[in-house]
Chain A
Amino acid sequence: MIPELGNFSLVLALSLAFLLSVLPMVGVYRNNQMLMTLSRPLCSGIWVFMVISFACLAWAFLHDDFSVAYVARNSNTLLPWYYKFTAVWGGHEGSLLLWVLMVASWTYAVSLFSRNLPLDILARVLAVMGIISVCFLIFMLLTSNPFDRLMLNTPAEGTDLNPLLQDFGLIVHPPFLYMGYVGFSVAYAFAITALLTGKLDAAWARWTRPWTNIAWAFLSIGIALGSWWAYYELGWGGWWFWDPVENVAFMPWLVGTALIHSLAVTEKRGVFKSWTVLLAIAAFSLSLLGTFIVRSGLLTSVHAFAVDPERGLVLLTILLLVIGASLFLYALRAPVVKGNASYTATSREVFLLINNILLVVATAGILLGTLYPLIHAAINGEDQPVSVGAPYFNTIFLPLMGILVAFLTVGSISRWKKTSLAYLKQQLVKVAVASVALGVLVPLIVTREVNIGIFVAVTLAFWIVMGIARDIQVKTSNKESLLQGLKSLSLSYYGMQIAHFGMAVIILGICLTSHYSVERDVRLAPGESIEIGSYEFIFEGVSPIQGPNYTADAGEITVLKNGKSYLTLTPEKRTYRATGSVQTEADIDVGFFRDLFAALGDPRGDGAWVVRIHMKPFVFWIWLGAFLMAAGGFTAILDKRYRVKEVKAEKEQVTQANTEIDAAPDLAGETG
């Protein structure tokens, strides 16, 4: 009964979404206030029914209702209750349900928090969001209904949730990732609205920016959580594999980063308008492409579940429809939203343009690498498959990011419209010299090794951090005290600096961990040990243990630090009872400056095992940096200028924005 209720709610949500995608639009073109006003209650309705539907599926999981096919495939009575709940989004149908619930939530949020939007704009935005909901609800109901029943042969026991997904990382990773993915649909809806109305002014950018920032921040956290999960759950000790599924989450993030910067220019200076619109379309299209690639199984990986070509076809149709229609609209309407302010070659506008070009080029490179096996198969046939490995992606991505960071500090210290070279030199020469000096000396003194890659990375990190310090110093210098100066800076300025600081932390984390990790795969008999740095790892042997729904070989590794007892690591090799699948469970001692990682390989006779032992310095900084970036995004949206109650006329806003900039160029701090 409950699953039918869930199914019925889905159908109701679809009907309401259909109304939402049609009625407000009709209202706009007939100038009918009532039809436009309908958009808000429709959004609430869709959201309520999606929540009901989601709750019904969760109920089916918690009550082990194996007559629901999806529950039977992804759950088991032995599963602890919290994994039963997270199994709701552990498979294809359920994660799609979560996806649509997210769309509904974002739509509802826009309808709630956009009281200052003109009604006709709001109606269009919500209608576009409605169209997205319609597409995915139809897709779900036709090809992947999570409420499909197994009435005739109801199994007594479910197949079990994939062991890889029975983990805290899975509880939090997909919701955050989807919040980000789907969040770009808001920027997309605003972009389509701008094309429809032909009005793309500072006010438009001001409405769009907070939504884009939130989506971007969620996506940052989602990707970081995914990487963290892969690090401790896959048992290889790696945190990024350039796997197709990682790439398709990363590409919207890169384009989203470009979009955030481009929106800053559009708001402050009224240029890059059509470019901003194109980026907003691209960010959401790449999110859809990601959903398509993962869900169709075209390029499968650890994330791909049961693969079904029919689903792929429907998704591809949606994808082509959305991308094709938006680009068609863009081709027709882009000239209307052209910007016309002027700026010089060393203005902040140009530096942000460079940022955008680099990010888009990096995205294009990753897209090519991700799709290359498909392109190759299409041209050369299926019998000589190729794979594109990490070296390709590193070769493309790292130099581009190096250049990006070199420009980052210049861009954030420069001024809108026109920055004289003399000013840039005055601000940055000392910073540049100091960061190169520190970037070479610090690693040299600490490690006594010459490593160009490390020198470059540490220099870039110092370049960012000291650039931030310098910028804050300049911006507070005309105030009475530092404290007063700090108070006068806007939250969006702080958001930018926090995110940039996070970037420096990530750079250090990635480079130091890649270069200085000690990774040893050794065969150890009980009692044998290996030494890494000041740590000694003693393998005590392996003993069988019982978990709630698995049995395991649990290894015991005593770690000594400088000869003194330090801690014990207990990596496990689990065999899950329901499916018989084997799962490596690493044990990690997490530290601020280093992680100790141990995982069991395979037995090699006489109680000896191959053991994977890693010492990974600064690996924690990768996730710390990602969270700082996200924190920057959240800080920026708290800026009070996004909460201006009154809607001013377009002209007033632009003039005001311009005078603000002319009067106080130093304070035009940006989330960037």
Chain B
Amino acid sequence: MLAHRQQKLAIVLFIIFGSALAIGLVLFALKEGINVFYTPTEISAGEVGQGQSFRVGGMVKMGSLVKEGLEGAEVNFLATDFCNDVLVSYTGPLPDLFREGQGVVADGSLDNAGTFKATQILAKHDENYMSAEVKASLDAAESASIEVCHQ
């Protein structure tokens, strides 16, 4: 009888321990791991704090891509929603489908000067190969620019 109760107690304890751990981890991880998407207009309006990591999306402004004369593998370009621009700086190889005039999504954060330091660049893949989040971000960027700038 005692063994039986012990066993039940152990199971209950493990379940409580497990769920507490899980909920704790999930809450902590959700805080850490979620990137909210902002448009250049929202960034210009000061909606994002310095150092906060987030995702920006828009179009690569025509003629804004600077590849040469920078430090090492750095590139600069303007991400635009046709209303406001954000200067994006990234060090590393650009994705195969990165083009001026095409959609782009970047993960990173703002530095002191208001430049977006990207840690990852996602370009518009051919339409069969675009991740849902990137597509949603690009759609949001396009629709936001239409709403804000063409009213």
Contacts and interface: CB of A to CB of B under 8 A. Distances in A.
A369 B126 CA distance: 26
B113 interface: no
A668 interface: no
A354 B21 CA distance: 13
B136 interface: yes
Interface string B113-144: 00000000000001011111101110110011
Interface stretch (A422-430, A441-449, A604-612): A604-612
A387 B37 contact: yes
Interface in B62-97: 67-68, 72-73, 91-94, 96-97
Interface residues of B, number: 51
A523 interface: yes
B144 A383 contact: yes
A393 interface: yes
Interface string B41-57: 00000000000000100
B15 A389 contact: no
A357 B37 contact: no
A508 B67 CA distance: 39
Given A300-B135, A342-B3, A361-B22, A521 B35 contact: no
Contacts of B144: 383
A361 B34 contact: no
Given A373-B132, A521-B93, A601-B73, A387 B35 contact: yes
A474 interface: no
Contacts of A162: 128-129
Contact of A396 (B26, B98, B143): B26
B68 A605 contact: yes
Contacts of B139: 382
Given A343-B7, A354-B14, A395-B25, A610 B132 contact: no
A599 interface: yes
A395 B96 contact: no
A325 interface: no
Nearest to A298: B132
Nearest to A377: B136
Interface in B1-52: 3-4, 6-7, 9-11, 14-15, 18-19, 21-22, 25-26, 28-30, 32-37
Contact of A521 (B6, B30, B91): B91
A109 B96 CA distance: 45
B107 interface: yes
Contact of B29 (A164, A391, A581): A391
B33 A610 contact: no
Given A344-B3, A521-B92, A612-B92, A386 B34 contact: yes
Interface string A292-332: 00000111111011100000000000000000000000000
Given A299-B132, A605-B68, A396 B93 contact: no
B9 to A, nearest CB: 8
A392 B29 contact: yes
Contacts of A306: 128
Contacts of B130: 300
A393 B33 contact: yes
A396 B24 CA distance: 9
B94 to A, nearest CB: 5
Interface in A356-405: 357-358, 361, 364-365, 368-369, 372-373, 377, 382-396, 399-400
Nearest to A389: B33
Contact of B33 (A391, A583, A584): A391
B131 A300 contact: yes
Contacts of A395: 25, 28-29, 32-33
A361 B18 contact: yes
A582 interface: yes
A342 B36 CA distance: 50
A521 B68 CA distance: 15
B35 A582 contact: no
B73 A365 contact: no
Q: Which 8 A-B pairs have CB atoms at the shortest separation, nearest pair first?
A: A601-B93, A392-B33, A395-B29, A521-B92, A385-B136, A387-B133, A391-B33, A582-B96
Interface of B: 3-4, 6-7, 9-11, 14-15, 18-19, 21-22, 25-26, 28-30, 32-37, 55, 67-68, 72-73, 91-94, 96-98, 107, 126, 128-133, 135-137, 139-140, 143-144
26 contacts: A243-B131, A300-B131, A301-B131, A304-B129, A345-B9, A350-B11, A364-B22, A373-B132, A382-B139, A387-B133, A387-B137, A388-B30, A393-B29, A396-B25, A396-B29, A521-B92, A522-B72, A581-B126, A582-B97, A601-B93, A602-B93, A602-B94, A604-B67, A604-B68, A605-B67, A605-B68
Given A387-B35, A612-B93, 20 more contacts: A162-B129, A243-B131, A299-B132, A301-B131, A302-B129, A342-B3, A345-B7, A354-B14, A357-B14, A382-B139, A384-B140, A385-B133, A388-B34, A389-B107, A391-B33, A392-B29, A392-B32, A523-B72, A573-B96, A602-B93
